[in-house]
């Protein structure tokens, strides 16, 4: 048998790669991990974690205003971007250190360099070091996609937004997905004038239409300028260092910052995979089977680079399943059905299962139940913002096919409810459950 330096070399230190490395090492494998940046990947370093902390920070704008209605004498608040930015980045570095410590405790050898494949069992680091391994796992994630227009270098992406030196007075965000809507809410609450440009007529594709429409309505009332079918043609720098954004209808919009949130592409190029016979789909995602094997028997891939579901918990499950299957003697696959998701907009929305349109298409009909209400806190705060919960059921069996929510704490509430949907419970099971009063979550068992 061939002798290798390691049983497994993981390229990429994000959620999927770290989990795979740690679990494989726990099964007794000799594991190395190469990461050219910081450990934690998109989620910890430039995605979920810093984004959620910015969401928390921006919520204080409403919280401080609402506090006055609850009897608190709150002086006029002042916001300091640098304080929030630096505290968030400090937390990111703390978490990065914990990832490094966890891998070290598990016995994983960490190489802080870029790695490319120089053979089916061989990885070459930037300094020329060659590592051999029985198996190689690609977990390099994805990167922001940029439109092919003049002036893209004048804008930023979600990679850079957490590092900017000041809060822009005006910001244009281009995109219609969760990243665009989340940052639109963040910058709007922090005081920026936000213009959201979506090149199509649909925002947040994949979410239920009623929930999407409610977010658009609320966002517009909060002062976010949302424009559909607005295609940017080019960006130019003005004499005063501001930017001019030209859109396809001939309009010119002045701004201080342009944030591109136009999707993400798999990080699969330039690694030597093509030369080895690894296959890719049209967007560059690595093609794998149910056990995350590529066309090359010794090379595997998990996470955003395979572009199945670009969510951190999914990458973690894929990495864990890979390690258990290949090194733990416990073959496992990942169930991609009924995955809950959320958009941390203002207010947040969350969903699991089929939308109304999907249910009607699959089953020829659907039973729909809703609760459209004003949360108690909003009533006393004198805010007219309403929450909307929606349940999609099978037209005959009444099994709950989907739950869709927009309102305060919607993601926190949905996580528990997603268990019921995954378990295949019916509307009767919800009706038979006593409400927890007073709460927003009780609306789940009161829908008619």
Q: Is 97 annotated among the ligand-binding residues?
A: no
Residue 40, annotated as binding a ligand: no
Is 390 annotated to bind a ligand? Reply is no
- DSSP strand pairing (243-247 vs 252-255): antiparallel
Catalytic residue from among 59, 320, 394, 437: 437
The answer to whether residues 444 and 418 touch, using CB atoms and an 8 Å cutoff, is no
- CA-wise closest residue to 391 among 400, 382, 380, 383: 400
Dihedrals φ, ψ of 409, to 5°? Answer: 60, 20
Three state DSSP letters for the chain:
CCCCCEEEEEECCCHHHHHHHHHHHHCCCCEEEECCCCCCHHHHHHCHHHHHHHHHHHHHHHHHHHHHHCCCCCCCCCCCHHHHHHHHHHHHHHHHHHHHHHHHHHCCEEECCCEEEEECCEEEECCCCEEEEEEEEECCCEEECCCCCCCHHHCECCCCHHHCCCCCCEEEEECCCHHHHHHHHHHHHHCCEEEEEECCCCCCCCCCHHHHHHHHHHHHHCCCEEEECCCEEEEEECCCCCEEEEECCCCEEEECEEEECCCEEECCCCCCHHHHCCCECCCCCECCCCCCECCCCCEEECHHHHCCCCCHHHHHHHHHHHHHHHHCCCCCCCCCCCCCEEECCCCCEEEEECCHHHHHHHHCCCEEEEEEECCHHHHHCCCCCCEEEEEEECCCCCEEEEEEEECCCHHHHHHHHHHHHHCCCEHHHHHCCCCCCCCCHHHHHCCC
71 is in an annotated binding site: no
Query: Is 177 marked within a binding site?
Result: yes
Whether residue 437 lies in the annotated active site: yes
Residue 180 annotated as part of some ligand binding site: yes
Indicate the angle between helix axes 178-190 and 48-69, nearest 10 degrees.
Answer: 40
The CA-based diameter of the chain, rounded to the nearest angstrom, is 75
Q: Are 130 and 111 in contact (CB under 8 A)?
A: no
On whether 367 is known to bind a ligand per the annotation, the reply is: no
Q: Is 86 annotated as a binding residue?
A: no
Query: Which of these, 327, 289, 287, 285, lies nearest to 10 by C-alpha position?
Result: 327
207 assigned to a ligand binding site:
no
Check the annotation: does 182 bind a ligand.
yes
Q: Is 179 annotated as a binding residue?
A: yes
Q: Binding site residues for FAD, as ranges?
A: 52, 304
Q: Binding site residues for NAD(+), as ranges?
A: 175-182, 263
Q: Binding site residues, as ranges?
A: 52, 175-182, 263, 304
| Catalytic residue list | 437
């Amino acid at each position: 048998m061939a002798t290798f330096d390691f049983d497994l070399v993981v390229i990429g230190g994000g959620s999927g790669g770290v989990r795979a490395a740690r679990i494989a090492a726990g099964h007794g494998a000799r594991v190395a991990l190469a990461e050219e940046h910081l450990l934690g990947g998109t989620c910890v370093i430039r995605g979920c974690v810093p984004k959620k902390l910015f969401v928390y920070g921006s919520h204080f704008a409403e919280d401080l205003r609402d506090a006055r209605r609850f009897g608190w004498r709150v002086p006029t608040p002042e916001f300091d971007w640098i304080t929030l930015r630096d505290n968030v980045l400090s937390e990111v570095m703390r978490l990065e250190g914990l990832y490094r410590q966890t891998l070290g405790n598990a016995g994983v050898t960490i190489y802080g360099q870029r790695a490319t494949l120089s053979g089916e069992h061989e990885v070459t680091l930037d300094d020329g070091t060659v590592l051999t391994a029985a198996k190689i796992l690609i977990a390099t994630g994805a990167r922001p996609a940029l439109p092919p227009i003049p002036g893209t270098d004048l804008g930023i992406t979600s990679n850079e937004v957490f590092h900017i030196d000041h809060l822009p007075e005006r910001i244009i965000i281009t995109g219609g997905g969760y990243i665009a809507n989340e940052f639109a809410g963040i910058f709007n609450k922090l005081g920026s004038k936000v213009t959201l440009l979506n090149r199509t007529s649909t925002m947040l594709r994949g979410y239920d239409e009623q929930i999407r429409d409610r977010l658009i309505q609320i966002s517009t009332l909060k002062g976010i300028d949302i424009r559909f079918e607005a295609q940017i043609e080019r960006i130019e720098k003005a004499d005063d260092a501001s930017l001019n954004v030209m859109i396809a209808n001939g309009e010119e919009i002045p701004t201080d910052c342009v944030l591109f949130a136009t999707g993400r592409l798999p990080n699969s190029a330039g690694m030597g995979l093509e030369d080895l016979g690894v296959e890719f789909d049209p967007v560059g995602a690595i093609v794998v089977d149910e056990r995350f094997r590529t066309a090359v028997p010794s090379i595997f891939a998990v996470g955003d680079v395979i572009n199945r579901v670009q969510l951190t918990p999914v990458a973690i499950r894929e990495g864990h399943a890979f390690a258990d299957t290949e090194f733990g003697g416990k073959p496992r696959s990942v169930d991609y059905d009924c995955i809950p998701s959320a958009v941390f907009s203002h207010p947040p929305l969350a969903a699991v299962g089929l939308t109304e349109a999907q249910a009607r298409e699959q089953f020829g009909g659907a039973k729909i139940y809703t609760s459209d209400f004003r949360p108690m806190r909003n009533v006393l705060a004198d805010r007219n913002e309403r929450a909307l919960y929606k349940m999609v059921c099978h037209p005959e069996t009444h099994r709950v096919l989907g739950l869709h929510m927009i309102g305060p704490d919607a993601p926190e509430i949905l996580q528990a409810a997603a268990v019921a949907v995954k378990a295949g419970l019916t509307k009767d099971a919800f009706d038979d459950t006593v409400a927890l009063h007073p709460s927003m979550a009780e609306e789940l068992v009161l829908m008619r």
